Amino acid sequence: MIKVVKFGGSSLASAEQFAKVGKIIQADKERRYVVPSAPGKRNSKDTKVTDMLYACYALVEAEEDFRVPLMKIKDRYDTIINGLNLKLSLEEEFRKITENFKNKAGVDYAASRGEYLNGIIMANYLGYEFVDAAEVIFFDKDGIFDADKTNKVLGKRLAKTERAVIPGFYGSMPDGMIRTFSRGGSDITGSIVARAVRASCYENWTDVSGFLVADPRIIDNPQTIKTITYRELRELSYMGAGVLHEDAVFPVRKAGIPINIRNTNAPEDEGTWIVESTCHQSKYTITGIAGKKGFVSVNIDKDMMNAEVGFGRKVLAAFEENAISFEHMPSGIDTMTVFVHQPEFEGKEQAVISAIHRLAQPDSIELEGDLALIAVVGRGMKSTRGTAGRIFSALAHANINVKMIDQGSSELNIIIGVSNADFENAIRAIYDIFVETQL
């Protein structure tokens, strides 16, 4: 059994946090490959090292003196090294960084040094081999991740390495230039490493004990999701839930490797398992609730619309002409509604209306703004009768008017439209009816 473990910035922000991480890794001999992020915030007023590096390189590009800010970054690392009582010096590494900054090595190079340096410290602390991500993770000449080459080279390299630390967030271009992943960088690296070594599990350690059923800013102490499928995760992520980015999931999903989200500060918690499929029934009918504010509904009415071949295509062509993507498109016999992001739509609304009239000749068009969309997601909904009825009942009891409801044929999710003003209360009402009443 092989486990790949990734630790986020908050898990590695200080020597104290490093010590916690060390205990977690040493507690399980199967945790053989470690992917660290750069040091995060030590407190709410602190600055992430990656942000410090971006600010430092901005001075480089402005032809200003960057040495003092760079030394502050060095101090952050030296504080960790001294706190761990390591016999390690980063003097030579910072000399190279200084030289490369002077030679304008690029903003990606600058940002990547946070993970790179933390990887050196982590390898030294654990006694593991350090493997520079630039040597094993590759992008093509267009800056697109080269999955096949990476999997081949990384798999071959780690097959010869019993235990290793591979810094997250970056790789290299064909010309040797450093390239970073755009979003969820270290999470993506962990997933790539897990696939390359054919891991039995990818543990992603952060500062929360897994994913929550609902947003904790809206629901006080929401329940943790024990198991979630990739499809459910995608639905919740699409609607704004703070979960792993899709790019971080794809490599392990393709290889059938489960992900376990864990809490560095509460390692005894099981966290959340992300799996391809499961026969385990979720504790509740729903798996999670997520949503976004700031939508406009474009309601198009035309008699005998359903009998007109190509009507929907003509309507959507009006949005395409104006470079506007749509979120949802529920329809009736003579009506069709297109939901779009309000900030994206507002400046082009009259152009879109004109285009719809020109292309589709509707009887009327009505707009309604300041709407929110809420996704209720759960594999358990398919085998449970009356789910939609319970949602409507809960919302009616909370005096919330439902503007739209849209359920896919998979019965995995139900999308509900409400006014922005009712957004939080709607989520509370749905959470109460499905979770609180079942506790």
> Could you tell me the pLDDT band of residue 394, with boundaries at 50, 70 and 90?
very high
Q: What is the pLDDT of residue 185?
A: 76
Q: Return the CA Rg of the chain.
A: 25
**pLDDT (0 to 100) of residue 162:** 95
Digit-coded pLDDT (tens) for 308-317:
899 999 999 9
pLDDT score recorded for residue 183:
66
Statement: residue 439 has pLDDT above 60: no
- Give percent of the chain with pLDDT exceeding 70: 97
**pLDDT value at position 200?**
96
DSSP reduced 3-state for 346 = helix
Q: What are the pLDDT digits (tens) for 56-80?
A: 999 999 999 999 999 999 999 999 9
pLDDT at 231: 87
Q: What is the pLDDT of residues 194-246, one digit of tens each?
A: 999 999 999 999 888 888 999 999 999 999 999 999 888 888 887 776 667 77
- How far is C-alpha 326 from the geometric centre of its chain's CA atoms? 21
Residues in CB range of 40: below 8 A, 6 or more apart: 8, 9, 10, 11, 12, 13, 48, 49
Is residue 10 within 8 A of residue 209, CB to CB? The reply is no
Q: Residue 438 pLDDT > 70, yes or no? A: no
Q: Over the stretch 134-189, which tens digit does the pLDDT of each residue have?
A: 999 999 999 999 999 999 999 999 999 999 999 999 999 999 999 999 866 789 99
DSSP assignment of 8-19 equals -GGGGSSHHHHH
The CATH architecture assigned to 3-207 reads 3-Layer(aba) Sandwich (3.40)
More confident residue, 276 or 35: 35
In this model, does residue 280 exceed pLDDT 90?
Answer: no
Domain-wise residue ranges, the chain: 3-207, 288-438
What value, to the nearest 5°, has the Cα angle with vertex 274 and ends 273 and 279? 80
In CATH terms, 288-438 corresponds, of 3.30.2130.10, 2.60.40.1120, 3.40.50.970, 3.30.930.10, to: 3.30.2130.10
- H helices of 336-375, where? 342-346, 349-360
What number is the average pLDDT over the span 116-130?
Answer: 97
pLDDT at 249 > cutoff 90? no
Cα–Cα distance, 99 to 126 (Å, whole number):
29
Report the distance separating Cα 209 and Cα 310, nearest Å. 49
pLDDT averaged over every residue in the chain:
92
pTM of the model: 0.85
**C-alpha span between 296 and 290 (Å, rounded):** 18
Report the percent of the chain where pLDDT is more than 90. 77
C-alpha span between 373 and 403 (Å, rounded): 10
